[in-house]
Amino acid sequence: MKQKCLTESNVNQKLLNIQYAVRGPIVARAAQIEREIQKGAEKPFSRVIRANIGDCHALGQKPFTFVRQVLAVAACPALMSCPDIPDDVKERVKEILDDCTQGSVGAYSPPAGLTIVRRHVAQYLTARDGVPASPEDIYLGAGASDLIKAVLTLFVQDVGGRAPGVMIPIPQYPLFSGTLSELGLTQVPYYLDEESGWALPPSELQRAWSHADCSVRALVVINPGNPTGQVLSRDNIEEIVRFAYERNLFILADEVYQENIVSKEFHSFKKAMHEMGAPYSAMELASFVTSSKGWAAECGARAAFVELCRVAPRVLVAFNAARAVAQCPSVLGQCVIDCVVKPPAPGSPSYTTWSRERRDVRRVLQQRAAAATRAFNSLPGYFCNVIEGSMFAFPRVDLPAGAVRAAAERGLAPDEFYCLQLLEETGVCVVPGSGFGQRAGSFHFRTTILHPASEFAHMLAAITNFHHQFLKTYSLSCLTDDDD
């Protein structure tokens, strides 16, 4: 038999190190269970509840009318004559199409994105931060993951014979660890302080930096946090900025959940740097925002932007060349970004509907965050910080020794064992904390909190009942083993 051209031994070895728990083995098992149910298999539950990924529309959030009308008319300009389409939608689409080649979203845009959309992004950032933003610093992309990888690629070069490294938070969104593995960049983990609301102590940054066996070149900060849901205080942001300045680190600020904050004020890194003044206001920064999160939650559109601040001209030349190779992000996705950064204005025909839909989304997020925090903290052995932003809960679970031992016997991490048992017995699919990173000896899981009210209540009740039975089973198991 002819040997395969690609084998495990000759494929890009960096790819073999990528792990992405959000779509990992437990999620694969959930899909298998769904197929088993469809074929008539008997389970102690009637359906699988997917709580593994922050896909709002998949969890029942309705699309925003303004966004979808803009997309519909942009894709089919003949709808301009439809009397049911509001005038402000038509005006927006005309503005976008005037910037498209031959007036079609089917044509390539410039690699960085349509000029009009980048201009609107700059206006949005200027209003948000009170700091002038330039369209020339804005790059549109196929989701935040596309742009994060593009920026991280800039750091692959060895420095002084030492491998390059990037500091990332633990817990973290595995996009970062996976992308660093793919690019061959060294991960330099720093731990968020769970007991202090997932704050970021400068002493921990110093510990991680000083123990790094590489040339640390950049610092990733996720604010609001994913999976942790915290919002960094202004003082904490300033401490992080000072740390990065003193060590000449480039800051990558993942700020995609800023529109999902329910209880705190958001401070962007750009604004903080500006208000801190020189020399911090001259630091390099990449800040990411996506339409997959926030109020629009258009995950399938795959659209985002990055603002690259104060980057050296020759570096920008290289970045622009790399983006040109990819041609351009989806132009329809760029239309979504335009709607996100420039929603209907007060008094416009679409404003009343948009405002009501926005208010409903925010109310649901606030209710779910409060309910999840309350429910998890009521369970024995559970601890969950208050969810301040994003769309996830990341509770810590103290597992009995019997469960830890049972997990080891099956070759599983204890939290993976717990989540797998939860899936098999209740149909609730969550992601073990080990997929995001956690302190040794601690166990967590991440769950989305955006399900419809009845399904969300059912999920919390299922987790509650399961946990009580799990403790009973494995605590008794531990006592029986000790007696033997």
pLDDT tens-digit map of 389-440: 889 999 999 999 999 999 999 999 999 999 999 999 999 999 999 989 999 9
* Fold of the domain built from segment(s) 15-43+356-483: Aspartate Aminotransferase, domain 1 (3.90.1150)
Per-residue pLDDT at 17: 73
Binned average pLDDT, 10 residues per bin, the chain of 484 residues: 79 74 80 92 91 88 96 96 96 96 94 97 97 97 95 91 94 90 94 94 96 95 94 96 97 96 93 97 97 93 96 94 93 97 97 96 93 95 93 94 94 94 95 91 94 93 96 72 47
Per residue, the 3-state secondary structure of the chain, as one string, reads: CCCCCCCCCCCCCCHHHCCCHHHCHHHHHHHHHHHHHHCCCCCCCCCCEECCCCCCHHHCCCCCHHHHHHHHHHHCHHHHHCCCCCHHHHHHHHHHHCCCHHHCCCCCCCCCCCHHHHHHHHHHHHHHHCCCCCHHHEEEECCHHHHHHHHHHHHCCCECCECEEEEEEECCCHHHHHHHHHHCCEEEEEECEHHHCCECCHHHHHHHHHCCCCEEEEEEEECCCCCCCCCCCHHHHHHHHHHHHHCCCEEEEECCCHHHCCCCCCCCHHHHHHHHCCCHHHCCEEEEEECCCCCCCCHHHCCEEEEEECCCHHHHHHHHHHHHHCCCCCHHHHHHHHHHHCCCCCCCCCHHHHHHHHHHHHHHHHHHHHHHHHHHHCCCCEECCCCCCCCEECCEECCCHHHHHHHHHCCCCHHHHHHHHHHHHHCEECEEHHHCCCCCCCCEEEEECCCCHHHHHHHHHHHHHHHHHHHHHHHHHHHHHHHC
- Report domain extents, the chain: 15-43+356-483, 91-341
Q: What is the pTM of this model?
A: 0.91
Report the topology of domain 91-341. Aspartate Aminotransferase; domain 2 (3.40.640)
